[in-house]
């Protein structure tokens, strides 16, 4: 998607459509001004349009001097916020995709007043608009063809898939540089998030551990950061028992990918990002129910987020070193699969009783967390994983669970969640829960019973960071694939990419 910025008057641009944000608090004033500019008189407009977040009304200008063919009235709720702007831009983009309009604009001529009202930087508002538009424009259609129609009709001619051409942000001369800056950042983050969604939405026969590693290598080659991939032989040499144990039932080999973005000059910090890369999770011998099992292709969402975050750091040339670590495998039942009751020895040397083979994500993360700490001694370790259904029960599909041993890191992630629209909620990590993962035959076991499932999973991971003082675990099981909920959303949300980008961009 091309993004450009114009300081022309909105009425002079011959576009397919222009979107105008309208808050509920000043709805009548905004609609009156819009009517004066474009002549959008519509019967019952004030009653029909509530200006709710994400609400879109399409109108057709009546004034000849207004050159755009359509006006999109975009509700942002009671008042402006970054999240409301992002959601409204996404709603407009979805309509644009449905209507197949190749070039449209969004009016930001009042961005200075909006920024003042929000007490926010103008660049952040422009960034949110572009991120939201990219989010709403997204459509996973790579595997769709028109072969059925072609077989029915020999004269059928294939039509090219719709491709959106350009988003024009219309602003004032005074705000031009700020909008350009924000638009650039928004385009980088938005396009990276779309890439991540493509990875997650790919069926498991298109996205195994090797293909996930190849995706990381392709990103590294394109954007100039180093990617090293360990094959099964190397993983065996390292004695990564957690990753090898989960992989036992598969006929696809595991991979362990290391992504390394190092800036020019001395980095401000080194941050390690660890992502769960289970490319399909059947539950193993502890088999999941068949209903909605197809959604388990999304169990590598954390890994995809890590690729996206390292890519963003490289594209924006951030002054910090970012290390991404991705242990990847599927989790299948077979004659060679690990059994409940088996004991594994992890990379750290800690022994684990496999109480349930469907608690596999924490096993592969265990090896990666220890490797991150020992090999890179990072200032911060953050892991992301679609780890537990228990976290979905606790927080639903709106927020990720945050577990951390560092209050400052908790504050950074919480603030980043609110600004990025990818919210997190801190959960307890008290030692009281340790007894639930105590094993009679090994150092620990990989489940802690029905109660506090998300917390005991986090307590399990905590064992593998040793004495590291700045670690955070994000359980993204709910918001990463909201189609599993009742929201009506389809496929992956790419949750975590904007959150990590916000943290990395503002690190100090």
Q: How many CB atoms lie within 10 A of CB 426?
A: 15
In a domain, 320, yes or no: yes
Count the alpha carbons within 13 Å of 151 in the hemisphere toward its beta carbon.
4
Asked if 362 is an active-site residue, the reply is: yes
In a domain, 183, yes or no: no
> In terms of domains, do 166 and 290 share one?
no
| Residue 22, φ and ψ in degrees, nearest 5 | -135, 115
Q: Is the pLDDT of residue 111 over 50?
A: yes
**For residue 485, what pLDDT is reported?**
40
**For residue 132, what pLDDT is reported?**
97
Q: What's the burial of 231, exposed, middle or buried (CB within 10 Å: 0-12/13-18/19+)?
A: middle
> In terms of domains, do 99 and 222 share one?
no
Asked if 24 is an active-site residue, the reply is: no
**For residue 490, what pLDDT is reported?**
62
Strand boundaries in 367-476, DSSP class E: 380-385, 400-404, 424-426, 444-445, 471-475
In a domain, 184, yes or no: no
Query: Which is more confident, 234 or 142?
Result: 234
In a domain, 180, yes or no: no
Do residues 443 and 366 make contact, with C-beta atoms less than 8 angstroms apart?
no
Which residue, 219, 214, 218, 217, is CA-closest to 227?
217
> In terms of domains, do 499 and 350 share one?
yes
> In terms of domains, do 169 and 200 share one?
no
> In terms of domains, do 418 and 364 share one?
yes
Of 362, 373, 412, 423, which is the active-site residue? 362
Q: Per-residue pLDDT tens for 19-53?
A: 999 999 999 889 889 999 999 865 456 667 899 99
> In terms of domains, do 194 and 168 share one?
no
In a domain, 260, yes or no: yes
Strand, helix or coil for residue 157:
coil
In a domain, 117, yes or no: yes
What is the average per-residue pLDDT within 468-485?
86
Of 226, 288, 415, 426, which is the active-site residue? 288
> In terms of domains, do 309 and 445 share one?
yes
Give the predicted TM-score (pTM) of the model. 0.96
> In terms of domains, do 275 and 335 share one?
yes
Q: How far apart are CA 487 and CA 495, in angstroms?
A: 15
Mean pLDDT of the chain: 95
What is the average per-residue pLDDT within 123-135?
97
Which residue, 60, 77, 93, is CA-closest to 22?
77
Tokens of 386: 């679609």
> In terms of domains, do 169 and 196 share one?
no
**Segments in 202-257 forming alpha helices (H):** 209-223, 232-238, 241-247
Q: Per-residue pLDDT tens for 318-354?
A: 999 999 999 999 999 999 999 999 999 999 999 999 9
> In terms of domains, do 114 and 259 share one?
no
Q: Is the pLDDT of residue 486 over 80?
A: no
Question: Domain containing 134 — which CATH number?
Answer: 3.40.220.10
Question: Domain containing 479 — which CATH number?
Answer: 3.40.630.10
Q: Which of 125, 141, 173 is the last residue of a domain?
A: 173
Q: Per-residue pLDDT tens for 377-430?
A: 999 999 999 999 999 999 999 999 999 999 999 999 999 999 999 999 999 999
In a domain, 265, yes or no: yes
In a domain, 182, yes or no: no
Q: Which domain holds residue 28?
A: 2-173
Q: Is the pLDDT of residue 508 over 60?
A: yes
* Number of domains composing the chain: 2
Tokens of 473: 């675990």
Q: Per-residue pLDDT tens for 304-320?
A: 999 999 999 999 999 99
């Amino acid at each position: 998607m091309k993004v450009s910025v114009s300081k022309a008057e909105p009425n002079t641009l011959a576009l397919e459509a222009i979107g105008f944000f309208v808050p509920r608090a000043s709805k009548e004033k905004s609609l009156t001004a819009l009517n004066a500019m474009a002549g959008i008189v519509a019967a019952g407009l004030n009653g029909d349009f509530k200006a709710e977040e994400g609400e879109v009304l399409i109108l057709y200008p009546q004034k000849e001097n207004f050159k755009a063919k359509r006006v999109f009235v975009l509700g942002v709720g009671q008042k402006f916020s970054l999240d409301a702007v992002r959601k409204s831009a996404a709603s407009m983009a979805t309509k644009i995709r449905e209507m197949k309009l190749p070039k449209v604009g969004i009016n930001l001529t009042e961005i200075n007043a909006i920024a003042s009202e929000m007490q926010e930087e103008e660049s952040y508002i422009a960034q949110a608009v572009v991120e939201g538009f990219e989010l709403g424009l997204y459509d996973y259609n790579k595997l769709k063809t028109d072969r059925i129609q072609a077989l029915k009709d020999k004269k059928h001619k294939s039509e090219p898939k719709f491709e959106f051409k350009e988003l024009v942000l219309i602003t004032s001369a005074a705000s031009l540089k700020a909008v350009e800056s924000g638009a650039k950042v928004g385009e980088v983050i938005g396009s990276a998030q779309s890439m991540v969604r493509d990875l997650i939405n790919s069926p498991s026969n298109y996205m195994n551990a090797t293909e996930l590693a190849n995706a990381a290598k392709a990103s590294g080659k394109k954007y100039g950061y180093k990617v090293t991939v360990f094959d099964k032989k190397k993983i065996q040499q390292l004695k990564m028992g957690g990753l090898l144990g989960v992989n036992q039932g598969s006929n696809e080999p595991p991979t362990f990918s290391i992504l390394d973005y190092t800036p020019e000059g001395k980095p401000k910090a080194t941050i390690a990002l660890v992502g769960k890369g289970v490319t399909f999770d059947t539950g193993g011998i502890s088999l999941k129910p068949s209903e909605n099992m197809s959604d388990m292709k999304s169990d590598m969402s954390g890994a995809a987020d890590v690729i996206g975050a390292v890519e963003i750091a490289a594209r924006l040339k951030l002054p910090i070193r970012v290390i991404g670590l991705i242990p990847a495998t599927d989790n299948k039942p077979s004659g060679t699969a690990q059994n409940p009751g088996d004991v594994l020895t992890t990379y750290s040397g800690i022994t684990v009783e496999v109480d349930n083979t469907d608690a596999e994500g924490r096993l592969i993360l265990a090896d990666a967390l220890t490797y991150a700490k020992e090999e890179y001694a990072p200032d911060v370790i953050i892991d992301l994983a679609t780890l537990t259904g228990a976290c979905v029960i606790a927080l639903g599909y709106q927020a990720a669970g945050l577990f951390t041993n560092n209050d400052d890191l908790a504050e950074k992630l919480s603030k980043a969640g609110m600004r990025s629209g990818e919210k997190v909620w801190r959960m307890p990590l008290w030692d009281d829960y340790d007894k639930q993962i105590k094993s009679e035959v090994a150092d620990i076991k990989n489940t802690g019973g029905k109660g506090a499932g998300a917390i005991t999973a986090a307590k399990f991971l905590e064992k593998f960071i040793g004495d590291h003082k700045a670690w955070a675990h994000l359980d993204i099981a709910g918001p990463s694939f909201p189609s599993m909920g009742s929201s009506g959303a389809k496929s992956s949300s790419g949750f975590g990419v904007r959150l990590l980008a916000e943290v990395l961009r503002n690190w100090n």
